[in-house]
Amino acid sequence: MKQLTLLLIGGLVMFLTATKSFADEYHGEFCWQVFNESGEPYWRYQLGIYEKQGGHIALYGSIDYGPNGISAAHGNAVFVGDIIKFTLNSADYEEGMEVFAETFAAKLNRSTLNGTWNALTLEIFDDENFPSSVHQSGTISLISC
Protein backbone atom coordinates (compact mmCIF):
# COMPACT_ATOMS: atom_id res chain seq x y z
CA MET A 1 0.00 0.00 0.00
CA LYS A 2 2.86 2.35 0.81
CA GLN A 3 4.40 1.77 -2.65
CA LEU A 4 1.09 2.47 -4.36
CA THR A 5 0.68 5.72 -2.43
CA LEU A 6 4.22 6.84 -3.34
CA LEU A 7 3.59 5.90 -6.97
CA LEU A 8 0.35 7.93 -7.05
CA ILE A 9 1.99 10.98 -5.41
CA GLY A 10 4.97 10.75 -7.76
CA GLY A 11 2.68 10.44 -10.78
CA LEU A 12 0.62 13.45 -9.66
CA VAL A 13 3.77 15.58 -9.21
CA MET A 14 5.04 14.60 -12.67
CA PHE A 15 1.63 15.33 -14.22
CA LEU A 16 1.38 18.76 -12.61
CA THR A 17 4.97 19.62 -13.60
CA ALA A 18 4.43 18.50 -17.21
CA THR A 19 1.18 20.47 -17.46
CA LYS A 20 2.88 23.62 -16.21
CA SER A 21 5.80 23.30 -18.63
CA PHE A 22 3.46 23.25 -21.64
CA ALA A 23 1.26 26.12 -20.48
CA ASP A 24 1.02 29.46 -22.27
CA GLU A 25 1.92 32.67 -20.51
CA TYR A 26 -0.66 35.33 -21.39
CA HIS A 27 0.86 38.84 -21.63
CA GLY A 28 -2.43 40.70 -22.19
CA GLU A 29 -4.22 42.61 -24.94
CA PHE A 30 -2.20 45.00 -27.07
CA CYS A 31 -3.51 47.39 -29.72
CA TRP A 32 -1.76 49.03 -32.67
CA GLN A 33 -2.87 51.73 -35.06
CA VAL A 34 -1.65 51.19 -38.62
CA PHE A 35 -0.85 54.26 -40.75
CA ASN A 36 -0.22 54.50 -44.49
CA GLU A 37 2.92 56.08 -45.95
CA SER A 38 1.28 59.53 -45.75
CA GLY A 39 0.56 59.12 -42.03
CA GLU A 40 -3.19 58.65 -42.39
CA PRO A 41 -4.77 56.01 -40.12
CA TYR A 42 -5.74 52.81 -41.90
CA TRP A 43 -6.83 50.06 -39.53
CA ARG A 44 -6.32 48.86 -35.98
CA TYR A 45 -5.20 45.56 -34.49
CA GLN A 46 -6.27 44.23 -31.10
CA LEU A 47 -4.26 41.15 -30.21
CA GLY A 48 -3.91 38.82 -27.27
CA ILE A 49 -0.21 37.99 -26.81
CA TYR A 50 0.72 34.48 -25.65
CA GLU A 51 4.25 33.26 -24.99
CA LYS A 52 4.57 29.60 -25.83
CA GLN A 53 7.17 27.17 -24.53
CA GLY A 54 10.57 27.93 -26.03
CA GLY A 55 9.88 31.67 -26.29
CA HIS A 56 7.59 31.52 -29.33
CA ILE A 57 5.03 34.32 -29.35
CA ALA A 58 1.49 33.66 -30.65
CA LEU A 59 -0.87 36.51 -31.57
CA TYR A 60 -4.65 36.07 -31.68
CA GLY A 61 -7.24 38.77 -32.13
CA SER A 62 -8.95 41.07 -34.57
CA ILE A 63 -8.38 43.73 -37.17
CA ASP A 64 -10.80 46.66 -37.22
CA TYR A 65 -11.18 48.25 -40.66
CA GLY A 66 -13.53 50.96 -39.36
CA PRO A 67 -16.50 51.29 -41.72
CA ASN A 68 -15.53 48.02 -43.45
CA GLY A 69 -15.95 46.04 -40.22
CA ILE A 70 -13.94 43.65 -38.09
CA SER A 71 -12.12 40.49 -39.17
CA ALA A 72 -10.17 37.82 -37.34
CA ALA A 73 -6.37 38.02 -37.33
CA HIS A 74 -3.68 35.67 -36.06
CA GLY A 75 0.07 35.30 -36.34
CA ASN A 76 3.36 34.97 -34.54
CA ALA A 77 6.35 37.05 -33.47
CA VAL A 78 10.07 36.54 -32.92
CA PHE A 79 12.70 38.59 -31.12
CA VAL A 80 15.73 39.47 -33.26
CA GLY A 81 18.05 41.62 -31.15
CA ASP A 82 16.30 44.94 -30.43
CA ILE A 83 13.62 44.23 -33.05
CA ILE A 84 10.39 42.27 -32.86
CA LYS A 85 9.31 40.84 -36.20
CA PHE A 86 5.73 39.76 -36.47
CA THR A 87 3.50 38.40 -39.18
CA LEU A 88 -0.29 38.47 -39.13
CA ASN A 89 -2.80 36.84 -41.44
CA SER A 90 -6.41 37.82 -41.96
CA ALA A 91 -9.13 37.03 -44.45
CA ASP A 92 -12.76 37.94 -44.83
CA TYR A 93 -15.77 37.76 -47.11
CA GLU A 94 -18.08 40.72 -47.30
CA GLU A 95 -21.43 39.70 -48.76
CA GLY A 96 -21.92 41.11 -52.24
CA MET A 97 -18.60 42.91 -52.20
CA GLU A 98 -15.31 41.06 -52.00
CA VAL A 99 -13.15 38.29 -50.63
CA PHE A 100 -9.67 39.18 -49.45
CA ALA A 101 -6.67 37.51 -47.83
CA GLU A 102 -3.87 39.55 -46.35
CA THR A 103 -0.41 38.88 -44.97
CA PHE A 104 0.94 41.70 -42.83
CA ALA A 105 4.58 41.89 -41.67
CA ALA A 106 5.95 44.43 -39.18
CA LYS A 107 9.25 45.28 -37.54
CA LEU A 108 8.81 46.84 -34.12
CA ASN A 109 11.30 48.52 -31.83
CA ARG A 110 11.45 46.24 -28.78
CA SER A 111 11.35 49.14 -26.29
CA THR A 112 8.57 51.26 -27.89
CA LEU A 113 6.61 48.58 -29.81
CA ASN A 114 6.33 51.05 -32.73
CA GLY A 115 7.73 50.44 -36.18
CA THR A 116 7.14 49.91 -39.88
CA TRP A 117 5.03 47.45 -41.86
CA ASN A 118 4.34 45.96 -45.29
CA ALA A 119 1.27 44.03 -46.40
CA LEU A 120 0.33 41.95 -49.39
CA THR A 121 -3.36 41.55 -50.11
CA LEU A 122 -5.24 39.44 -52.63
CA GLU A 123 -8.80 40.54 -53.24
CA ILE A 124 -11.55 39.59 -55.62
CA PHE A 125 -14.83 41.40 -56.08
CA ASP A 126 -18.04 39.43 -56.66
CA ASP A 127 -18.34 40.58 -60.27
CA GLU A 128 -14.72 39.66 -61.16
CA ASN A 129 -13.17 36.33 -62.12
CA PHE A 130 -9.56 36.92 -61.08
CA PRO A 131 -8.02 38.32 -57.92
CA SER A 132 -5.99 41.51 -57.87
CA SER A 133 -3.00 42.07 -55.63
CA VAL A 134 -2.23 45.12 -53.54
CA HIS A 135 0.98 46.07 -51.73
CA GLN A 136 0.82 48.61 -48.91
CA SER A 137 3.29 49.93 -46.34
CA GLY A 138 3.62 52.52 -43.62
CA THR A 139 4.13 52.86 -39.88
CA ILE A 140 2.51 51.17 -36.89
CA SER A 141 2.12 52.61 -33.37
CA LEU A 142 1.16 51.04 -30.07
CA ILE A 143 -2.05 52.59 -28.70
CA SER A 144 -4.23 51.93 -25.67
CA CYS A 145 -7.00 49.42 -26.15
pLDDT tens for each residue of 23-54: 689 999 999 999 999 999 999 999 999 999 88
Question: Which whole-number Å values give the CA distances from 101 to 3, 48, 59, 134, in the listed order?
Answer: 59, 21, 17, 11
- Name the more confident of 17 and 27: 27
| Residue 4 forms part of a structural domain | no
pLDDT tens digits along 111-127? 999 999 999 999 988 88
Mean pLDDT value of segment 99-109: 95
CATH label of the domain that carries residue 72: 2.40.128.30
Mean predicted lDDT score pLDDT of the chain: 86
Total domain count for the chain?
1
| Residue 35 forms part of a structural domain | yes
- Name the more confident of 100 and 7: 100
91: amino acid identity, one letter: A
- Name the more confident of 98 and 115: 115
Instruction: Report which of 61, 56, 58 is spatially closest to residue 29, judged by C-alpha positions.
Output: 61
| Residue 5 forms part of a structural domain | no
Q: Domain range holding 34?
A: 24-143
| Residue 139 forms part of a structural domain | yes
User: DSSP letters of 85-101?
Assistant: EEEEEEEEEETTTEEEE
101/80 Cα distance (integer angstroms)? 27
| Residue 14 forms part of a structural domain | no
| Residue 16 forms part of a structural domain | no
